[in-house]
Structure 1
Amino acid sequence: MGTAVATEPPGPAQFVTSSAQVQQAHQAQQAQTEFPELTPAVAAKLDTAIRDVMRDGDVPGVVVALSAPDKGTYIRSFGEADTATGAAMSPGLFMRIGSETKTFTVTAVLELVDEGKVGLDDPISDYVDGVPNGDKITLRDLAAMRSGLFNYTGDEDFYKALTSDPDRPFTPQQLLDYSFKHPVEFQPGEEFQYSNTNTILLGLVVEKAGGMPLHEYIQKNVLEPAGLRHTTFPTDAAFPRPHAHGYTEQTASGDVEDATDWNPSWGWAAGAMISNLQDMRSWAETVATGTLLTAETQAERLKVYPSSTSGDGYGLGIFDIQGWIGHNGSLPGYQSLTIYLPEAQATLVVLLNTDITKDGVAPSTLFGKAVTGIVTPDHVYDIPAPAAPPSPESPPSPGYG
């Protein structure tokens, strides 16, 4: 459901960058952020760069949207949405967005914080029984990927269960069981390590504190207030039409297969959602600027825990990579990237129909790097390949990790 991030987790001696420091850094960089007018000449450069990534990465199809106030809008689709029929990729297609689901789940948690129904420093044991170190791990630790809980998608039995029967449904408890049979990997707050287990637990918190199933809470309290009419949290394998077909090699055979109708329940709160280009362009600004949250809570969200790569860090269900704020997503057959650059009020969304990496790098990262390298050379989005490739016996972790 995503591609591993090549960052060494920040150790306990490293400290959180406050939202004020982030804002100061953004202001200091603003003078250097001269976002170009999206002229035909710039569009031609973007076209060439995107086609180069497609060719080099063997990507079937991609849609890209880039915009900034008074600078114009670039929206393009390239390649095929269905390699069997040759149907063209289109900006209006529905796509699975993988770990971008985390931005919705964590937003729901933060709304409950604003309502006084949960606290960021509450232990997860207040809401879910049986969590290893549950009396020490806080909701903040979970949202910031600093819990120390084993990532269930790295469990060999989980991977075999998923790839042997991609149509099977998983319950949240089944997902947690794959994680909890492993010892904790570090004490909460000591390190950064991306883990889907964290967000599954946050989904259960939303259900308990919000008083309704997660998909209903997100629909009522996140999607509707944000005006997202083409975004859904599926409870089965149903996929709105028209949609692109997705292609993966995360299969039992290791061969490339069509994963379009795989049941996304295994991602649940961490990766099950579906959207389209129009909605994700809107969501990029909403989540980065915090329009659904109080200013105080949004400031907590934007406190990033630095990685070993200068200028990069992870906050509460959101990252800041060289000034671009947002998230990426990946699950078998699909990848996505939705980011916002506050200095230029610029939005970039990339949706594509494969998760197959190129030399260990996610294709969404390759597209993000190619586009930002042209329009914001002082703020180039890039997540390097991991030091070692993921094991063939386990799928890569989703999104930022």
Structure 2
Amino acid sequence: MRSMFMPFHFRIAILPILIMLVIASALIPGCTHSPEPVSEDYDKLLTSPPPSVEVRLQQIVSDGVTNAEIPGAVIEIETPDWRWRHATGYAALSPPIPAETGMHFFIASVTKPFVSVAILQLAEEGKLALDDPIDSYLPVDIMEAIAMSDEITIRQLLDHTSGIADYDEMSLVLEEYENPGYTVSYEQGMWDSLHAGPLYDPGMGYTYSNVNYILLTLIIDRASGRTYEEYILEYILNPVGMRNTSVHRTNRLPDPHMHALEEFEEDGIIMDFSNLYKQYDRGSGDIVSTTADLNAFHKALVSGMLISPSSRDEMMTISPQSKKNIDMSPLGSGNQGYGPGYIITSLDEPGNLTLYGHTGGYPGASTFWYYLAEEDTYLTLHANSAMRAAAVHEEILIPLLLFLTDRGPAGF
């Protein structure tokens, strides 16, 4: 996964081992951010891309699905001049169901920007401040279990510099997979993490941890007077008009949907992780959406509809602890880091390109969510495989970015 220019937030490397274990056992008060919903007439303002562009885009994605050896993919790209939606391959394999634009899917860690926006909205309302210590916003038992909770700030939860450890997400996923209908609560993974103790003092490092965002949902509960789930619906989904997006609280994806599929290559066994609850990932990976809704959310975020320009700048400011050099050949090289709920990649060779966004991974599901700043272009891609996420990146994402930024070879 070293070639991935945005960290793919899922421990894919251990999945084959864990799959074998599964198979063996199976023998086993209000806010001011409440604008009117975005008008559906907006869709009429954009046309399809020119035919030659559309043909090339289709070729890149179709060839990429084949070369990456994944079941299928759905994608939406929006430039200032056109919008393109496409689906290729299969949403399910047994029985075969073709992928279609508009299908729902697990967005996994792309949930985190939603939580960040909610926290920044509450900060604008004076309900909290990013540099407040977290101890005054958490239940007493949780506050007392976190070392230095009086020093860890909300900002450090947002940018993963708190020193709080992550949980073992795959163990929680497999616990539900082996027990259909059973719900693993978010408290289970959270307490596993807190009992493990801190990784380092607050602000002294960068470690991506889903537990940071679980704690942020508890802060949203306390500061807003609503549950995290209610807040996301009222102050983000409804204002943006995201009618096909929800915080997932059942063990059934809305129809139609991309099935979350992984193939155990040695035996050819295909595992479907679609019918699981996601409550254990509260705020860190529990939203279901579509490519169109995710692009609408990104546009609302970048345009200042949901948060002020100064709050947006907070999201776009990476922590020094997370900054690293990155080589995205053949696209270019530069640096990358993590801001509050946002990954920023800045390339300066051979030309300037800034990518804002996030990636998300869950067994059988990988989501890539980007804003190309210099091109003023939004791109959301979902593929129904996580084990093949690196291949999706190499075979679909890089060729698309090369094409959209005119960086490909002649005739590309």
TM-score, normalised relative to structure 1: 0.79
* Larger displacement relative to structure 2 (161-170 or 257-266): 161-170
Aligned residue for 1:169? 183
Q: One-letter code of the match for 1:42?
A: V
Given that 1:64 and 1:349 are in contact with CA atoms closer than 8 Å, whether structure 2 keeps it comes out as: yes
TM-score, normalised relative to structure 2: 0.77
CA distance in 2, matches of 1:302, 1:184: 27
Out of 63, 67, 86, the position equivalent to 1:56 is 67
Aligned residue for 2:102? 92
Aligned residue for 1:115? 125
Larger radius of gyration: 2
Aligned residue for 2:339? 315
CA distance in 1, matches of 2:79, 2:403: 14
CA distance in 2, matches of 1:5, 1:160: 13
Shift of 1:263: 1.3
CA distance in 2, matches of 1:297, 1:348: 22
Task: Please identify runs of 4+ aligned residues in structure 1 that moved more than 6 A.
Answer: none
Given that 1:148 and 1:187 are in contact with CA atoms closer than 8 Å, whether structure 2 keeps it comes out as: yes
CA distance in 2, matches of 1:267, 1:157: 12
Given that 1:108 and 1:206 are in contact with CA atoms closer than 8 Å, whether structure 2 keeps it comes out as: yes
CA distance in 1, matches of 2:406, 2:180: 41
Aligned residue for 1:375? 404
Residue 43 (str. 1) matches residue 54 (str. 2): yes
Q: How many residues align?
A: 344
Secondary structure of 1:152's match?
coil
Aligned residue for 1:388? none
Out of 1, 9, 13, the position equivalent to 1:2 is 9
CA distance in 2, matches of 1:40, 1:307: 39
Q: How does 1:232-271 map to 2 (within 5 A)?
A: 232-248=246-262, 255-271=269-285
CA distance in 1, matches of 2:130, 2:309: 15
CA distance in 2, matches of 1:216, 1:177: 24
Aligned residue for 1:133? 148
Aligned residue for 1:398? none
Change (3 A) 1:157 1:247: closer
CA distance in 1, matches of 2:396, 2:312: 28
Aligned residue for 1:184? 198
Given that 1:319 and 1:326 are in contact with CA atoms closer than 8 Å, whether structure 2 keeps it comes out as: yes
* Larger displacement relative to structure 2 (362-371 or 323-332): 362-371
CA distance in 1, matches of 2:391, 2:279: 22
Given that 1:330 and 1:336 are in contact with CA atoms closer than 8 Å, whether structure 2 keeps it comes out as: yes
Residue 347 (str. 1) matches residue 378 (str. 2): yes
CA distance in 2, matches of 1:378, 1:207: 46
Q: How does 1:56-75 map to 2 (within 5 A)?
A: 56-70=67-81, 72-75=82-85
Aligned residue for 1:281? 295
Deviations 1:123-144 (A, max 9, x none): 1111222223312211101101
CA distance in 1, matches of 2:172, 2:253: 23
Given that 2:188 and 2:280 are in contact with CA atoms closer than 8 Å, whether structure 1 keeps it comes out as: no
Secondary structure of 1:248's match?
strand
CA distance in 2, matches of 1:254, 1:203: 39
CA distance in 1, matches of 2:221, 2:394: 33
Shift of 1:235: 2.0
Secondary structure of 2:292's match?
helix
Residue 336 (str. 1) matches residue 367 (str. 2): yes
RMSD: 2.7
Deviations 1:41-92 (A, max 9, x none): 333333232233212322111011112112x222211001111122211112
Q: How does 1:197-216 map to 2 (within 5 A)?
A: 197-216=211-230
CA distance in 2, matches of 1:178, 1:62: 35
